[in-house]
């Protein structure tokens, strides 16, 4: 049994898959297995996976008809055997000591989950993103996933028994937020979480044109709504989800997938918070411009601005602009 299992779902990734795999093969920690799951790629990705597997016995390639990211992740879960696991996206890459340092931290603290910082790579520039939770108890970390922490699986080393013992998997119906569902579900239990103050994982935000995270389609909005509904029925304090609700409303607005009433009726309890809270300074101006370009949205925008706000706030200024 290897110490670490790495799951990498692959779809149409021939342009950047080699960068990812080579960064894994360059790891200073060598007791790992890499499971590549080709999700029905039409380019050379599947052939590349088979070639990697022929050259290195630690690499295993599996192929399936295209079924989406969750089904690919689940196939990976079905074929790993490591003590710990981590997920990697094929358009991203790792620093050479990532596995070594995460595993050492996990063993030192007997941890169920190790969280580390990340690098964000966008259009040729690199940014450091700190991912330190406010506290390391499972509830605070789960709340962080709903707010300001990246909920992705790729900067978290997780003890495999934590999810196999509960039969936890990725819901096939999700197109985005599957990582949030998985990691927040893990944190429903009192697992031991530790944090390593260092970045190893490079999250590439610009190379993959197939990324669903950066698209506005009906299935992405429905995925967000499903995740919110799921946890709304579980959490003792549903207000933890307000940030997710505002993000879903924003995605619906920019996608123009619904009419004005749909926009207003989606989580109306956060309308006032969205416009008067800390997000307003960076978002309301963009909302105003977008609404002016698409007059069908102005009615919903007026409704969302119907609550009394201070004339000194940006939301108040926007209200006066629309309502007079």
pLDDT digits (tens, 9 = 90+) for 197-208: 999 999 999 876
Q: What is the pTM of this model?
A: 0.85
What does the pLDDT read at residue 258?
64
β-bridge partners, 9: 37
Q: Which two tokens stand for residue 92?
A: 């991203």
Which of 253, 252, 231 has its CA nearest to residue 242? Answer: 231
Q: Is 86 inside a domain boundary?
A: yes
Are 162 and 122 contained in the same domain? Answer: yes
Are 153 and 32 contained in the same domain? Answer: yes
Among 204, 228, 253, identify where a domain stops.
Answer: 204
Q: How many domains does the chain have?
A: 2
Q: Which two tokens stand for residue 143?
A: 């709340």
Q: Is 60 inside a domain boundary?
A: yes
Q: What is the dihedral of CA 238, 242, 245, 250, to 10 degrees?
A: 180
Are 13 and 134 contained in the same domain? Answer: yes
Q: Which of 51-65, 116-130, 203-217 has the lowest mean pLDDT?
A: 203-217
Q: Is 213 inside a domain boundary?
A: no
Q: Which of 9-23, 60-74, 227-241, 245-259 has the lowest mean pLDDT?
A: 245-259
Q: How far apart are CA 33 and CA 17, in angstroms?
A: 17
Are 145 and 276 contained in the same domain? Answer: no
Cβ distance 312 to 282 under 8 Å?
Answer: no
Instruction: Show the domain range for 264.
Output: 218-323
Q: How far apart are CA 165 and CA 168, in angstroms?
A: 8
Cβ distance 239 to 269 under 8 Å?
Answer: no
When the pLDDT of each residue in the chain is averaged and rounded to a whole number, the result is 87
Are 134 and 49 contained in the same domain? Answer: yes
Are 223 and 156 contained in the same domain? Answer: no
Q: How far apart are CA 151 and CA 148, in angstroms?
A: 9
Q: Which two tokens stand for residue 54?
A: 């022929």
**For 87-118, what is each residue's pLDDT tens digit?**
999 999 999 999 999 999 999 999 999 999 99
User: In terms of DSSP bridges, do strands 59-64 and 32-39 run parallel, antiparallel, or are they unpaired?
Assistant: parallel
Q: Is 209 inside a domain boundary?
A: no
Q: Is 143 inside a domain boundary?
A: yes
Are 145 and 176 contained in the same domain? Answer: yes
Residue 237 has φ and ψ, to the nearest 5°, of -125, 90
Q: Is 211 inside a domain boundary?
A: no
Are 242 and 118 contained in the same domain? Answer: no
Q: Is 245 inside a domain boundary?
A: yes
Are 252 and 158 contained in the same domain? Answer: no
Which of 154, 163, 11 has its CA nearest to residue 78? Answer: 163
Are 156 and 254 contained in the same domain? Answer: no
Are 301 and 257 contained in the same domain? Answer: yes
Which of 99, 154, 158, 164 has its CA nearest to residue 131? Answer: 154
Among 204, 235, 254, identify where a domain stops.
Answer: 204
Q: How far apart are CA 245 and CA 267, in angstroms?
A: 6
**For 273-312, what is each residue's pLDDT tens digit?**
766 654 444 455 555 555 545 555 555 555 555 544 443 4
What are the b/e assignments for 26-53, b being 16+ CB within 10 Å?
A: ebebeebbbbbbbbbbeeebbebbeebb
Among 178, 204, 230, identify where a domain stops.
Answer: 204
Q: Is 210 inside a domain boundary?
A: no
Q: Which two tokens stand for residue 130?
A: 């700190």
CATH number for the domain spanning 53: value is 3.90.550.10
Are 281 and 159 contained in the same domain? Answer: no
Q: How far apart are CA 70 and CA 170, in angstroms?
A: 5
Radius of gyration of the chain (CA): 21
265 vs 272 pLDDT, higher one: 265
Rounded to whole angstroms, what are the CA distances from 213 to 29, 73, 181, 224, 260? 31, 16, 15, 11, 24
Which of 77, 157, 167, 145 has its CA nearest to residue 112? Answer: 157
Q: How far apart are CA 51 and CA 120, in angstroms?
A: 29
């Amino acid at each position: 049994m290897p110490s670490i299992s790495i799951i990498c779902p692959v779809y149409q990734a021939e342009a950047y898959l080699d960068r990812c795999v080579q960064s894994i093969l360059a790891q200073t920690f060598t007791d790992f297995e890499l499971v590549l799951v080709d999700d029905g790629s039409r380019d050379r990705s599947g052939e590349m996976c088979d070639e990697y597997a022929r050259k290195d016995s630690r690499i295993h390639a599996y192929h399936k008809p295209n079924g989406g990211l969750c089904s690919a992740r689940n196939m990976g879960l079905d074929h790993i055997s490591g003590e710990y696991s981590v997920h990697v996206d094929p358009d991203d890459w790792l620093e050479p000591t990532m596995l070594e340092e995460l595993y050492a931290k996990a063993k030192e603290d007997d941890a169920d989950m190790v969280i580390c910082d990340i690098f964000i790579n966008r259009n040729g520039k690199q940014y450091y993103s700190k991912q330190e939770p406010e506290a390391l108890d499972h509830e605070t970390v789960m709340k962080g996933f709903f707010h300001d922490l990246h909920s992705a699986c790729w900067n978290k080393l997780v003890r495999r028994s934590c999810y196999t013992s509960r039969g936890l998997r990725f819901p096939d119906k999700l197109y985005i937020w599957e990582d949030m569902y998985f990691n927040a579900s893990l944190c429903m239990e009192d697992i031991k979480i530790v944090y390593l103050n260092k970045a190893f994982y490079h999250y590439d935000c610009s190379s993959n044109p197939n990324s669903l995270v950066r698209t506005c389609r009906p299935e992405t909005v429905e995925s967000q709504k499903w995740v919110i509904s799921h946890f709304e029925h579980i959490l003792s304090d549903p207000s933890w989800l307000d940030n997710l609700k505002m993000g879903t409303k924003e995605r619906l607005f920019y996608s123009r997938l619904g009419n004005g009433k749909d926009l207003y009726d989606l989580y109306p309890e956060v309308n006032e918070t969205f416009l008067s809270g800390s997000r307003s300074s960076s978002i309301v101006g963009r909302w105003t411009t977008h609404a002016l370009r698409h007059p069908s949205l102005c009615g919903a925008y007026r409704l969302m601005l119907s609550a009394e706000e201070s004339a000194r706030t940006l939301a108040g200024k926007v209200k006066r602009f629309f309502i007079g």
